[in-house]
Structure 1
Amino acid sequence: MTSNHVLLNRVFNHRTFHGLINGKTNKVFTACLQRYVNKSRPAKNIELISNLYRYLAKHYRNEYFYKNTLLNKLLLGRHNMNTTTALAELPINTSKADFVLINGYATVYEIKTDLDSFDRLETQLNDYYHAFNKVFVVTSESNVDRLTNILKDTSTGICVLTSRNTISERKPAITDNRFLHHASMFKVLRKYEYESILHSHYGYLPTTTQVKYYKECFNLFEQININIAYCYMLNELKKRNIKEKEQFRNVPYELKYLAYFSGFKASDYGKLHDFLNKTRGIC
């Protein structure tokens, strides 16, 4: 199945998405339409993309499908963009957190589709707990028993992407601060974010050479109580919210994840609107 559907992974990604809305011809998009969309008449791009996405839902629930479902069901369903921020592919030590939600607290969601192995799961979870205190693994129904056995007696929770494409919690995640690590948390932060934390906590920033500045900032950060530092970090990460919220609300369900993490300006949403309403043939 993987080899037969690999083109779909290349359609629902940022490079293809940006190219299409900027008027570039994409052979992969065209090939997927010809292979997976049964249309004998010209149709708008939004209709064609919707057909491709329905194919994903029925036959090939890949990582994009999981991520887009998490964003729609959790950020836009259970929470809202005014109080909650979503992050994706967040580097933490040697791993990247697939999806993170931050409001008054933070939750990491590690995705394991039917196409993934569990080989790196232990390493990934260890990395995540160095920077965050609550973690779920999101998987399919077929992996639940195996995952339950792997995660028994741990703080990590389990969520399932059900056959109805909803998110169902099967094992609660327990908040666990035992492994929080200053260095891992500090590396998650951008320069202006850790400067904001230090200024809030100490009232000043270190005065030193440019070469030593990063190290001196970390030395100050490391002296903050770990639980207080964690709250500071969440407060800064929560500010990484999208700016054009009203335009984002009009993005179709199928493309919410791509639009949210594309850093769109108002003009980009205009380009997306034009692309989606453009009519094209399949052949």
Structure 2
Amino acid sequence: MPASVGQQAAALFSAATFRPVLAGRPTERIDRLVESLRSEITPSAKTNGEVIDQAYRHLAAQYRSEYVYKNLIASKMLVGRHRAANAALIHEFRVGDAVADCVMINGAATVYEIKTELDNPDKLVRQLAEYFRAFRLVNVVVHSSDADRYLSHLAHDPTGIIVVGSRRRLSIAQEAKPFDGELDTRVMFNALRQSEAAYALAACGIEPPEVPNGVRYSQYLELASSIPPSVFQVAFAAALKIRRIKAVELLREPRYETLRSLVVQLNPTPQQEQRLRAWLTRDVR
């Protein structure tokens, strides 16, 4: 059965689809998607970028996917509210046995867990419990049609609720309250890359020892375990901020607004950014 227009648009806005463009590899898959979407929704479009913009509008209006929510967070929270050059936005960040949709680091470190109309809230309790083992601030992002259900579900919870309105605006329905009663140093440590763990230890005043790779994890974890969780959490957030976006100017440009979440996820080098710009201005094949 041929994929629907919504399914094609959702497939278009994925890191796997765009990676060949950035890498300078053959782009047959994304070119086929763009050509198909042009014929379905925007026959007058001439360039890849024009089709991308129309596909995003279709996705936002007809087939709300997780990408639309992530892109709103990138646009409204990272570019609109914070200085993109001084903040980090991380997608699909593993915390214990859960994976947070978005994590923003700008002074505070905040989780944004997305629940579209297609999602079932049943596993949310378990996810939130995992997130609070590493973060003080957690928000759930929901569509306005689901707001009352989540407000009832989280009425006595420190979790915040952010609502996506009909005009793609974000509004706070329930303010997130800082909560550090479940912070777990091991969970935070295991969420970091090795270089970030060393950075976090140094930020806590502990010089990471020069040890063989085979014992480095256990040695570093033992040192981290001696640090109070609330103290290590501050260093944990500072270490994650190292992942700041490289392509800040690309992120700020209004004409690339529909691709902001992908730019965050792919974090292109200057050469990769040039390839992306060139592909977007190229005529549809």
TM-score, normalization: structure 1? 0.92
Q: Which amino acid aligns with 1:86?
A: L
Point out where structure 1 has 5 or more consecutive residues left out of the alignment. Answer: none
Deviation of the 1:231 alpha carbon = 0.7
Does the 8 Å CA contact 1:137/1:156 hold for their aligned counterparts?
Answer: yes
Deviation of the 1:208 alpha carbon = 5.1
Quote the residue 1:271 is aligned against.
275
Quote the residue 2:66 is aligned against.
63
- Paired with 1:183 and 1:214, the residues of 2 have a C-alpha distance of 11
Deviations 1:198-234 (CA, angstroms, capped at 9, x unpaired): 2343443246554332112111101112111111111
Deviations 1:77-111 (CA, angstroms, capped at 9, x unpaired): 01111332111100011111101111111111000
Task: Tell me whether 1:143 sits opposite 2:146 in the alignment.
Answer: yes
Partner SS, residue 154 of structure 1: coil
Deviations 1:103-134 (CA, angstroms, capped at 9, x unpaired): 11111100000111112111110110001011
Quote the residue 2:265 is aligned against.
261
Distance 1:197 1:38, change over 3 A: closer
Partner SS, residue 173 of structure 2: strand
- Paired with 1:248 and 1:55, the residues of 2 have a C-alpha distance of 21
Does the 8 Å CA contact 1:19/1:25 hold for their aligned counterparts?
Answer: no
Task: Tell me whether 1:221 sits opposite 2:224 in the alignment.
Answer: yes
Task: Tell me whether 1:32 sits opposite 2:37 in the alignment.
Answer: yes
Q: Which amino acid aligns with 1:14?
A: A
Partner SS, residue 88 of structure 1: strand
Quote the residue 2:7 is aligned against.
6
Q: Which amino acid aligns with 1:43?
A: K
Distance 1:46 1:210, change over 3 A: closer
Distance 1:199 1:119, change over 3 A: same
Deviation of the 1:268 alpha carbon = 1.0
Which of 180, 185, 188 lines up with 1:182 in the alignment? 185
Pairing of 1:186-201 with structure 2 (within 5 A)? 186-201=189-204
Which of 242, 260, 264 lines up with 1:239 in the alignment? 242
Task: Tell me whether 1:167 sits opposite 2:166 in the alignment.
Answer: no
Quote the residue 2:18 is aligned against.
17
Partner SS, residue 92 of structure 2: strand
Partner SS, residue 32 of structure 1: helix
Q: Which amino acid aligns with 1:31?
A: S
Which of 92, 97, 102 lines up with 1:99 in the alignment? 102
- Paired with 1:105 and 1:246, the residues of 2 have a C-alpha distance of 23
Q: Which amino acid aligns with 2:170?
A: I
Point out where structure 2 has 5 or more consecutive residues left out of the alignment. Answer: none
Quote the residue 1:118 is aligned against.
121
Quote the residue 1:78 is aligned against.
81
**Superposition CA RMSD, Å:** 1.8
Partner SS, residue 264 of structure 1: coil
Pairing of 1:152-163 with structure 2 (within 5 A)? 152-163=155-166
Q: Which amino acid aligns with 2:39?
A: Q
Q: Which amino acid aligns with 1:142?
A: S
Distance 1:269 1:150, change over 3 A: same
Single out whichever of 139-148 and 24-33 deviates more from structure 2: 24-33
Q: Which amino acid aligns with 2:91?
A: A
Distance 1:42 1:159, change over 3 A: closer
Q: Which amino acid aligns with 1:44?
A: T
Task: Tell me whether 1:44 sits opposite 2:51 in the alignment.
Answer: no
Aligned residues: 277
- Paired with 1:207 and 1:51, the residues of 2 have a C-alpha distance of 53
Partner SS, residue 136 of structure 2: coil
- Paired with 1:19 and 1:199, the residues of 2 have a C-alpha distance of 38
TM-score, normalization: structure 2? 0.91
